[in-house]
Amino acid sequence: MTTTKNYKLGFSGGFSQLQLKDISKAQAELYEALGVNNRTSFTQYKNGKIEPKASQAEAVEKVFEKYGITENIWEKCEATYDLRPVRNK
């Protein structure tokens, strides 16, 4: 049985599997893999608003593979980390 990858869903499923200690480093690597330089574009790819090119999808999978994540990468996941700094009031 062949499983098809639905890149239109984004990679929040893979992102949610990252260990907390790896998120910042992996996110920087994902920015580079996607060729983006801002949080808005990154989030759009992550949430499936923008579908990656084949070369981008392959690069994203390589980043996740580096962190031991090889399954359920291209899935929707509502529970993802928000890395924005917390502001004290």
Report the pLDDT value the prediction gives residue 77, as an integer from 0 to 100: 78
Which of the pair, 78 or 76, is modelled with greater confidence? 76
Q: Span 1-9, mean pLDDT? A: 74
CA 79 – CA 77 distance, rounded (Å):
6
Report the pLDDT value the prediction gives residue 18, as an integer from 0 to 100: 95
Q: How many CB atoms lie within 10 A of CB 86?
A: 6
Contact (CB, 8 A) for 29 and 63: yes
pLDDT > 90: what percent of the chain?
74
Task: Please give the model's pTM, rounded to 2 decimal places.
Answer: 0.81
Distance of CA 80 to the CA centre of its chain: 10
- Tell me the pLDDT tens digit for each residue of 29-39: 999 999 999 99
